[in-house]
Amino acid sequence: MNHTAPEFTWQITDSFGLTFNLSTVMMLIISAAIVFLIAFVATRKLALKPTGMQNFMEWIMDFVKGIIQSNMDWKTGGRFHILGITLIMFIAVSNLLGLPFAIAIDGDLWWKSPTADPTVTMTLAAMILVLTHYYGIKMRGTSHYTGTFFSPMKFMFPLKLIEEFANTLTLGLRLYGNIYAGEVLLGLIATLGASSVLGFVGAIIPGMAWQGFSIFIGFIQAFIFTMLTMVYMAHKVSADH
Protein backbone atom coordinates (compact mmCIF):
# COMPACT_ATOMS: atom_id res chain seq x y z
CA MET A 1 0.00 0.00 0.00
CA ASN A 2 2.94 2.36 0.29
CA HIS A 3 3.12 3.22 -3.37
CA THR A 4 5.14 6.17 -4.55
CA ALA A 5 4.42 8.31 -7.58
CA PRO A 6 6.62 8.15 -10.68
CA GLU A 7 7.69 11.77 -10.75
CA PHE A 8 9.61 13.61 -13.38
CA THR A 9 10.90 17.13 -12.97
CA TRP A 10 11.55 19.30 -15.95
CA GLN A 11 14.13 21.81 -14.67
CA ILE A 12 13.56 24.94 -16.73
CA THR A 13 15.87 27.14 -14.69
CA ASP A 14 18.00 26.30 -11.70
CA SER A 15 15.36 27.50 -9.26
CA PHE A 16 12.18 26.74 -11.25
CA GLY A 17 11.03 23.38 -12.56
CA LEU A 18 7.80 21.70 -13.62
CA THR A 19 7.10 18.48 -11.76
CA PHE A 20 4.99 15.88 -13.53
CA ASN A 21 3.41 12.83 -11.96
CA LEU A 22 3.84 10.61 -15.00
CA SER A 23 1.14 8.22 -13.80
CA THR A 24 -1.39 11.06 -13.58
CA VAL A 25 -0.36 12.37 -16.98
CA MET A 26 -0.74 8.93 -18.56
CA MET A 27 -4.10 8.26 -16.93
CA LEU A 28 -5.45 11.69 -17.90
CA ILE A 29 -4.55 11.06 -21.50
CA ILE A 30 -6.07 7.55 -21.41
CA SER A 31 -9.28 8.93 -19.89
CA ALA A 32 -9.50 11.68 -22.48
CA ALA A 33 -8.82 9.19 -25.28
CA ILE A 34 -11.56 6.81 -24.05
CA VAL A 35 -14.09 9.63 -23.72
CA PHE A 36 -13.19 10.93 -27.14
CA LEU A 37 -13.43 7.47 -28.73
CA ILE A 38 -16.83 6.76 -27.15
CA ALA A 39 -18.21 10.11 -28.28
CA PHE A 40 -16.57 9.93 -31.70
CA VAL A 41 -17.75 6.41 -32.51
CA ALA A 42 -21.24 7.14 -31.19
CA THR A 43 -21.70 10.15 -33.45
CA ARG A 44 -20.43 8.70 -36.74
CA LYS A 45 -23.77 7.63 -38.15
CA LEU A 46 -26.08 10.47 -37.16
CA ALA A 47 -29.70 10.14 -38.17
CA LEU A 48 -32.91 12.00 -37.47
CA LYS A 49 -34.25 8.68 -36.21
CA PRO A 50 -31.54 7.78 -33.68
CA THR A 51 -30.30 4.23 -33.19
CA GLY A 52 -27.93 2.49 -30.78
CA MET A 53 -25.10 4.63 -29.50
CA GLN A 54 -26.65 7.84 -30.77
CA ASN A 55 -29.55 7.23 -28.38
CA PHE A 56 -27.08 6.88 -25.52
CA MET A 57 -25.27 10.09 -26.42
CA GLU A 58 -28.55 11.95 -26.78
CA TRP A 59 -29.62 10.64 -23.41
CA ILE A 60 -26.44 12.06 -21.84
CA MET A 61 -27.03 15.38 -23.58
CA ASP A 62 -30.61 15.53 -22.35
CA PHE A 63 -29.49 14.53 -18.87
CA VAL A 64 -26.95 17.37 -18.69
CA LYS A 65 -29.52 19.69 -20.22
CA GLY A 66 -31.84 18.72 -17.35
CA ILE A 67 -29.10 19.53 -14.81
CA ILE A 68 -28.57 22.94 -16.36
CA GLN A 69 -32.27 23.68 -16.65
CA SER A 70 -32.82 22.89 -12.99
CA ASN A 71 -30.39 25.72 -12.13
CA MET A 72 -30.94 28.42 -14.76
CA ASP A 73 -33.02 29.10 -17.82
CA TRP A 74 -31.81 27.54 -21.03
CA LYS A 75 -31.14 30.87 -22.72
CA THR A 76 -28.41 31.59 -20.16
CA GLY A 77 -27.33 28.01 -19.53
CA GLY A 78 -27.21 26.69 -23.10
CA ARG A 79 -23.63 27.87 -23.52
CA PHE A 80 -22.49 25.58 -20.67
CA HIS A 81 -23.98 22.48 -22.28
CA ILE A 82 -20.75 21.29 -23.90
CA LEU A 83 -18.77 22.02 -20.73
CA GLY A 84 -21.27 19.98 -18.72
CA ILE A 85 -21.29 16.97 -21.04
CA THR A 86 -17.50 16.89 -21.26
CA LEU A 87 -17.17 17.22 -17.48
CA ILE A 88 -19.64 14.46 -16.62
CA MET A 89 -18.19 12.01 -19.16
CA PHE A 90 -14.55 12.77 -18.41
CA ILE A 91 -15.01 12.49 -14.64
CA ALA A 92 -17.17 9.36 -14.86
CA VAL A 93 -14.64 7.58 -17.07
CA SER A 94 -11.75 8.78 -14.88
CA ASN A 95 -13.48 7.50 -11.75
CA LEU A 96 -14.08 4.07 -13.27
CA LEU A 97 -10.56 3.60 -14.65
CA GLY A 98 -9.00 2.75 -11.28
CA LEU A 99 -11.61 0.14 -10.40
CA PRO A 100 -10.67 -3.04 -12.32
CA PHE A 101 -7.03 -3.10 -11.21
CA ALA A 102 -4.06 -1.05 -10.08
CA ILE A 103 -0.63 -1.43 -11.61
CA ALA A 104 2.46 -0.69 -9.58
CA ILE A 105 5.94 -1.08 -10.99
CA ASP A 106 8.93 -0.90 -8.63
CA GLY A 107 6.71 0.61 -5.96
CA ASP A 108 5.51 3.31 -8.34
CA LEU A 109 1.73 3.34 -8.81
CA TRP A 110 1.06 3.69 -12.52
CA TRP A 111 -2.51 2.62 -13.15
CA LYS A 112 -5.09 4.45 -11.03
CA SER A 113 -7.94 6.87 -11.44
CA PRO A 114 -6.65 10.29 -12.46
CA THR A 115 -9.31 11.70 -10.11
CA ALA A 116 -7.63 9.90 -7.21
CA ASP A 117 -5.00 12.64 -7.47
CA PRO A 118 -5.93 15.85 -5.61
CA THR A 119 -3.94 17.95 -8.06
CA VAL A 120 -6.25 16.90 -10.90
CA THR A 121 -9.51 17.42 -9.00
CA MET A 122 -8.40 20.73 -7.53
CA THR A 123 -7.31 21.91 -10.96
CA LEU A 124 -10.73 21.04 -12.39
CA ALA A 125 -12.48 22.72 -9.43
CA ALA A 126 -10.34 25.85 -9.74
CA MET A 127 -10.97 25.94 -13.48
CA ILE A 128 -14.73 25.78 -12.86
CA LEU A 129 -14.60 28.57 -10.27
CA VAL A 130 -12.52 30.78 -12.56
CA LEU A 131 -15.06 30.13 -15.31
CA THR A 132 -17.97 31.11 -13.03
CA HIS A 133 -16.27 34.40 -12.17
CA TYR A 134 -15.45 35.00 -15.84
CA TYR A 135 -19.03 34.42 -16.98
CA GLY A 136 -20.37 36.33 -13.95
CA ILE A 137 -18.50 39.44 -15.09
CA LYS A 138 -19.11 38.84 -18.79
CA MET A 139 -22.85 38.33 -18.59
CA ARG A 140 -23.91 40.51 -15.64
CA GLY A 141 -21.35 43.33 -15.74
CA THR A 142 -18.54 44.26 -13.38
CA SER A 143 -20.67 46.39 -11.04
CA HIS A 144 -23.25 43.65 -10.55
CA TYR A 145 -20.46 41.12 -10.07
CA THR A 146 -18.82 43.22 -7.39
CA GLY A 147 -22.22 43.87 -5.83
CA THR A 148 -22.85 40.18 -5.26
CA PHE A 149 -19.99 40.14 -2.72
CA PHE A 150 -21.79 42.78 -0.62
CA SER A 151 -25.32 41.43 -0.80
CA PRO A 152 -27.58 41.07 1.02
CA MET A 153 -25.55 42.90 3.70
CA LYS A 154 -22.19 44.66 3.50
CA PHE A 155 -20.74 42.84 6.48
CA MET A 156 -21.27 39.56 4.63
CA PHE A 157 -18.24 40.32 2.46
CA PRO A 158 -15.73 38.19 4.43
CA LEU A 159 -18.18 35.29 4.43
CA LYS A 160 -18.73 35.67 0.70
CA LEU A 161 -15.00 35.64 0.14
CA ILE A 162 -14.57 32.51 2.25
CA GLU A 163 -17.49 30.93 0.37
CA GLU A 164 -15.64 31.19 -2.91
CA PHE A 165 -12.60 29.38 -1.53
CA ALA A 166 -14.73 26.87 0.35
CA ASN A 167 -16.64 26.11 -2.85
CA THR A 168 -13.44 25.43 -4.75
CA LEU A 169 -11.96 23.35 -1.99
CA THR A 170 -15.06 21.21 -1.36
CA LEU A 171 -15.74 20.74 -5.08
CA GLY A 172 -12.24 19.38 -5.69
CA LEU A 173 -11.69 17.48 -2.46
CA ARG A 174 -15.11 15.80 -2.43
CA LEU A 175 -14.32 14.13 -5.75
CA TYR A 176 -10.75 13.29 -4.77
CA GLY A 177 -11.73 11.93 -1.36
CA ASN A 178 -14.44 9.66 -2.68
CA ILE A 179 -12.32 8.14 -5.43
CA TYR A 180 -9.09 7.94 -3.45
CA ALA A 181 -10.82 6.32 -0.47
CA GLY A 182 -12.49 3.86 -2.81
CA GLU A 183 -9.15 2.89 -4.30
CA VAL A 184 -7.45 2.59 -0.91
CA LEU A 185 -10.14 0.24 0.33
CA LEU A 186 -10.04 -1.75 -2.93
CA GLY A 187 -6.27 -2.01 -2.49
CA LEU A 188 -6.65 -3.26 1.08
CA ILE A 189 -9.20 -5.88 0.01
CA ALA A 190 -6.92 -6.96 -2.85
CA THR A 191 -3.99 -7.28 -0.46
CA LEU A 192 -6.13 -9.45 1.79
CA GLY A 193 -7.20 -11.58 -1.18
CA ALA A 194 -3.61 -12.07 -2.29
CA SER A 195 -2.37 -13.04 1.18
CA SER A 196 -3.68 -16.63 1.37
CA VAL A 197 -6.39 -19.01 0.11
CA LEU A 198 -8.50 -18.23 3.13
CA GLY A 199 -7.87 -14.57 2.57
CA PHE A 200 -9.03 -14.88 -1.05
CA VAL A 201 -12.26 -16.57 0.04
CA GLY A 202 -12.78 -13.86 2.62
CA ALA A 203 -11.98 -11.03 0.21
CA ILE A 204 -14.04 -12.01 -2.83
CA ILE A 205 -17.46 -10.99 -1.46
CA PRO A 206 -16.42 -7.59 0.00
CA GLY A 207 -14.28 -7.05 -3.10
CA MET A 208 -17.23 -7.45 -5.44
CA ALA A 209 -19.50 -5.42 -3.17
CA TRP A 210 -17.04 -2.56 -2.93
CA GLN A 211 -16.35 -2.56 -6.67
CA GLY A 212 -20.07 -2.38 -7.38
CA PHE A 213 -20.43 0.42 -4.88
CA SER A 214 -17.43 2.22 -6.38
CA ILE A 215 -19.00 2.12 -9.84
CA PHE A 216 -22.08 3.72 -8.31
CA ILE A 217 -19.94 6.31 -6.49
CA GLY A 218 -18.00 7.03 -9.68
CA PHE A 219 -21.16 7.97 -11.56
CA ILE A 220 -22.68 9.80 -8.60
CA GLN A 221 -19.54 11.91 -8.09
CA ALA A 222 -19.43 12.80 -11.79
CA PHE A 223 -23.09 13.86 -11.54
CA ILE A 224 -22.45 15.86 -8.34
CA PHE A 225 -19.44 17.63 -9.81
CA THR A 226 -21.43 18.65 -12.90
CA MET A 227 -24.46 19.63 -10.82
CA LEU A 228 -22.38 21.81 -8.47
CA THR A 229 -20.60 23.38 -11.44
CA MET A 230 -23.99 24.48 -12.76
CA VAL A 231 -25.16 25.60 -9.31
CA TYR A 232 -22.10 27.84 -8.84
CA MET A 233 -22.46 29.05 -12.41
CA ALA A 234 -26.11 29.89 -11.84
CA HIS A 235 -25.23 31.88 -8.70
CA LYS A 236 -23.00 34.09 -10.79
CA VAL A 237 -24.90 34.45 -14.06
CA SER A 238 -28.59 34.17 -13.21
CA ALA A 239 -30.60 37.35 -12.98
CA ASP A 240 -32.89 36.18 -10.20
CA HIS A 241 -30.14 35.78 -7.58
Stretch that binds other proteins, among 75-83, 145-153, 197-205, 210-218 (CB under 8 A): 75-83
4: Cβ contacts below 8 Å, ≥ 6 apart: 107, 108, 109
Stretch that binds other proteins, among 21-29, 138-146, 163-171, 224-232 (CB under 8 A): 21-29
Query: Cis peptide before 118, with omega less than 30 degrees from 0?
Result: no
> Which CB atom, from 47 or from 153, has the smaller least distance to other proteins?
47
Distance CA 207, CA 196 (A): 15
Among 102, 104, 127, 192, binds other proteins (CB under 8 A): 127
User: What's the burial of 87, exposed, middle or buried (CB within 10 Å: 0-12/13-18/19+)?
Assistant: buried
> Which CB atom, from 54 or from 211, has the smaller least distance to other proteins?
54
Length of the chain: 241
- 20 makes contact with other proteins (CB under 8 A): yes
DSSP state of 236: H
- 54 makes contact with other proteins (CB under 8 A): yes
- 74 makes contact with other proteins (CB under 8 A): no
Q: Which of 36, 37, 74, 43 is nearest to 57 (CA)?
A: 43
- 131 makes contact with other proteins (CB under 8 A): no
Beta strand segments in 51-160, E: 103-105, 108-111
Q: Kindly list the residues in this chain that would bind other proteins in the complex (CB under 8 A).
A: 1-5, 7-10, 18-21, 24-25, 28-29, 31-32, 35-36, 39-40, 42-43, 46-48, 54, 57-58, 61, 81-83, 85-86, 90, 114, 117-120, 123-124, 127, 184
